[in-house]
């Protein structure tokens, strides 16, 4: 797997590529995962990207994400697969991300729920499936993973243009979690 790190809009963008398939993780007011299959001659409505142990840091990052969601967001986990619907959905018709684990592989499956009328306007859109994660608390595992990717970038001596705490919504999420923990501790003491 090849990893390319660029810096657009002041935040690092990560592109993972293997066999003409691309997974791009980037932040522009919201977090996005984008899947491209350039090996296909026809527009794609479905595609998969497999994370293997060839890069242990990246594999462990996706493995932690999988485990985190299975324990903390159980309504998205059916016992084998995590199913996440893009937050960029209008009437629930946008893309779906399914994450599963088989042996030493993390499998990311992307699917378009319904073709949009605008898909024919730009040829490259037909080959791309996007998942948006807004800065809501429910998406915290994905935002946290992006923060850990920044750590990966720092490991190679590159500084991102902005710190993770400057990403809109992140500081609020951390404060919210601290407040909820504090509230639960107070309630527990009173009971």
* pLDDT for res 72: 87
- List strand residue ranges (DSSP E) for 72-189, in order: 81-85, 96-102, 105-111, 128-133
> The domain containing residue 148 runs over which residues?
2-190
pTM of the model: 0.73
- Inform me whether the pLDDT recorded for 76 exceeds 60: yes
Instruction: Report the percentage of the chain scoring pLDDT > 90.
Output: 25
For residue 24, what pLDDT is reported? 94
The per-residue pLDDT for 67 is 92
78 pLDDT exceeds 70?
Answer: yes
Tell me the average pLDDT of the chain: 75
H or E stretch at 14: strand 11-18
Residues 6+ apart with CB under 8 A from 141: 65, 68, 69, 72, 73
pLDDT digits (tens, 9 = 90+) for 5-62: 888 777 888 899 999 999 999 988 888 999 998 887 777 788 999 999 988 888 999 9
- Into how many domains does the chain fold? 1
Give the bridge partners for 12, in sequence order: 7
Most confident of 38-42, 44-48, 132-136, 181-185: 44-48
Secondary structure letter of residue 116 according to DSSP: -
Pairing of strands 21-27, 31-37: antiparallel
């Amino acid at each position: 797997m090849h990893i390319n790190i660029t810096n657009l809009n002041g935040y690092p963008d990560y592109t993972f590529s293997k066999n003409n398939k691309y997974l791009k993780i980037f932040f522009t007011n919201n977090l996005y995962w984008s899947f491209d299959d350039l090996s296909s001659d026809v527009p794609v409505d479905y595609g998969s990207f497999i994370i293997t142990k060839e890069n242990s840091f990246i594999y462990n990052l996706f493995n932690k994400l999988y485990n985190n969601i299975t324990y903390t967001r159980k309504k998205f986990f059916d016992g084998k697969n995590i199913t996440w619907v893009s937050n960029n959905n209008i009437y629930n018709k946008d893309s779906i991300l399914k994450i599963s684990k088989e042996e030493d592989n993390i499998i990311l499956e992307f699917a378009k729920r319904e073709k949009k009328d605008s898909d024919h306007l730009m040829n490259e859109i037909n080959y791309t499936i996007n998942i948006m994660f807004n800065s809501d608390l429910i998406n915290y595992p994905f935002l946290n993973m992006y923060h850990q990717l920044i750590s990966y970038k720092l490991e190679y001596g590159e500084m991102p243009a902005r710190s993770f705490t400057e990403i809109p919504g992140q500081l609020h999420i951390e404060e919210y979690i601290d407040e909820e923990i504090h509230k639960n501790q107070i309630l527990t003491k009173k009971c």
